Amino acid sequence: MNSMGIDKAPKDTRIVVAMSGGVDSSVTAALLHEQGYDVVGVTLQLYDHGEIIQRTGACCAGQDIYDARTVADKLGFPHYVLDYENRFKQSVIEDFADAYARGETPIPCVTCNQTVKFRDLLATARDLGADALATGHYVQRKLGGKAELHRGVDPGKDQSYFLFATTQDQLDFLRFPLGGMEKSETRDHATRFGLEVADKPDSQDICFVPDGNYASIVQKLRPEAAYPGDIVHVDGEILGRHEGIINYTIGQRRGLGIGGRKNDTDPLYVVRLDPDQHRVIVGPKSALATPHIRLSDVNWLGNSKLSDGAVEVDVKIRSAMQPVRATVQVTALGDVEVTFAEPHFGVSPGQACVFYDDNRVLGGGWIQRQLA
């Protein structure tokens, strides 16, 4: 059994490495090549090349494709660029715009992993005769009774929240060589290999919104999401007007464009978005308290069936938060419901709720919009 858990000699084990052009995926490919594996690098072109060459700091942009190819050429393994532009637009960008138009706050990085990378690219890797698909994600794949997904050892780089939708079949085929490393160790390896990307900054923000202006992208694709409407207090009083619900997120306090009410002593927060009526509903912080949420498209990686009964778990509803205790169960109607041990504040529809058992990822689902 080789280091990837495959019963072959490394030279007879083909591993496709998803290479974004950054230091993490480059080191992943370099380490596997050093260990004697039959490495094939693949980079996805997700945009029109004429546009992306002008963008810096974005994953899978023109410079990144060049950087990935340079690493492969230096180390001496084959590298291919696949045109996934249409798949990315349909599965990620269109979904992103639809979610914002529904008054949600999407996470396109999860959707990209769920569709373009771990569905489409994984199928391509199998077509190439690969025994595994390796990525530079900071998560760990461990073997219990079956392959399990665990947090990366570097708490500052752990990406398990973004991979909750990885299915058991995908996890059986995936490998994450960097999951047991600190980021500093990865950069040390890049320097040791003499890679030009050793000091390359990590990508920031959403790759197809390099300037961070999400509203402009959504307005272009879904102009109805920018329709003006009323800003309404939870008690029904109209407090002002807005220029589109896409400019607001649940829990937002600043930049509401309204003053406090005469008899109110507490600041106002966005507590709900009503895309049907183009309304932004605001209220005191107490109105943000959420005792339970319902999820859609739940992926479950636990040992028992979720339908067997309620399960005590730790959950995260944002990637950077500390996990909180909760119970997850299937309701009589077949929905999956999460009940927090204590009401949670600022729950945003469209975000992910990820389940953990200590460091093991048990899956997760997408938070649904609560109807008033």
User: Which residues belong to the active site?
Assistant: 112, 207
* Displacement of CA 80 from its chain's centroid (Å): 24
DSSP state of 190: H
| CA-to-CA dists, residue 57 to 60, 63, 100, 157, 203, angstroms | 9, 9, 24, 18, 5
Cα–Cα distances in angstroms (integers) from residue 289 to residues 240, 250, 297, 312, 341, in the given order: 24, 12, 24, 21, 12
CA distances from 201 to 1, 66, 332 (A): 36, 16, 49
Six-digit token string for 129: 């005769």
Q: What is the CA radius of gyration of the chain?
A: 22
Sequence-separated (6 or more) residues with CB below 8 Å from residue 155: none
Q: State how far the alpha carbon of 195 is from the alpha carbons of 67, 187, 368, in Å.
A: 9, 10, 44
Distance between CA 119 and CA 101 in Å, rounded?
26
Name the residue among 301, 314, 355, 369 with its Cα closest to residue 161.
355
